[in-house]
Amino acid sequence: MDKRSVFFVISAVVAALMIPLSEANLRWVPELVAVTYVVLAVLSFLDFESRRRGSLRRAATQWRTAPRRALRRRAARRAAVTGR
């Protein structure tokens, strides 16, 4: 579990709870803070997921080279079976 995103979500809830307690002309401050924390929570979670699963760039690179690797492996297996 990503601890950073949990912290940001809790902070967003606390900031949202402060909205009714703030003065009317300064109500935008806790609103902005709450939205900022939600954005940070989403970005932190996406960063955590990309590090856990691997990057999309690496996956795209592996996808492009996979057919060539498969052909090389197949050729190596045939060579091993035929004794070359």
pLDDT attached to residue 52: 74
Report the distance separating Cα 42 and Cα 55, nearest Å.
17
pLDDT digits (tens, 9 = 90+) for 58-68: 655 655 666 67
For the cut 80, the answer to whether the pLDDT of residue 46 exceeds it is: yes
Report the distance separating Cα 84 and Cα 82, nearest Å.
6
pLDDT attached to residue 47: 86
pLDDT attached to residue 9: 96
Can you tell me the mean pLDDT for 17-31? 95
What is the CB neighbour count within 10 angstroms for residue 41? 20
pLDDT attached to residue 73: 78
What is the CB neighbour count within 10 angstroms for residue 34? 19
DSSP assigned state of 26: G
Model confidence pTM above 0.85: no
